[in-house]
Amino acid sequence: PEYLEQIRHTVDVAQSLGMKVSFNFGGPGWVFGGDWVPPEDRNQCLISSALELDGARDYVGGLSARATINPLDVARSIQTIGPADRLVAVVAGNVVDGKLSAASLVDLRDRVTRGELHWRVPDGHWRVMAFWLTSVGAGVVDHFNKAAMERYFDHVGNAFERSVGH
């Protein structure tokens, strides 16, 4: 309410001086959001974890809960996969001479049940990479979710309009 009072004052003063006022919906740094943004509308980030397996053998077990660190941003890297993080993909690749063979990549998502991978590991050394969606930035709206952005703009836009009119 105090912010909207300041907005109203700004618009009143600008109008008295023959000026117009333009606002962005994000504020300083263009961060879109607020504490009122519901969890399902919040920004998400793709993180990964990896598990090294040697074959040939049957593997039944969990995926790694240790997140892969972003070498370009170690300080802000997420360290662990959380219970609320959503698994979106699992891919394995054969590691040959220290390099992942692109030709060997196999989609294993359908072999994961309740967080447990059931897979017949072929001969060789394999890296199982899991990819997870995690929420980031408390209250930051998901810019890639059209419905979330529409709800955000309706909320903020309606508050502005109630305060200062069209």
CA dist 14 → 17, 76, 164, 166 (Å): 5, 41, 12, 15
Given this model, what pLDDT does residue 116 score?
95
More confident residue, 79 or 53: 53
Kindly report the number of other CB atoms within 10 A of residue 131's CB atom: 16
**pLDDT grade for 25, boundaries at 50, 70 and 90:** low
- In this structure, what token pair is assigned to residue 146? 């059209």
pTM of the full structure: 0.70
Distance CA 69, CA 79 (A): 7
pLDDT digits (tens, 9 = 90+) for 103-146: 999 999 999 998 899 999 999 999 999 999 988 767 788 888 89
B/e letters for 24-37, b = 16+ CB within 10 Å, e = fewer, are eeeeeeeebbeeeb
For residue 116, the cross-strand partners are 62, 113
pLDDT of residue 137: 67
Q: What is the pLDDT of residues 53-64, one digit of tens each?
A: 999 999 999 999
Residue 108 CA to residue 130 CA, distance in Å, equals 9
* Euclidean distance between CA atoms 87 and 15, whole angstroms: 52
Token couple for 153: 């703009």
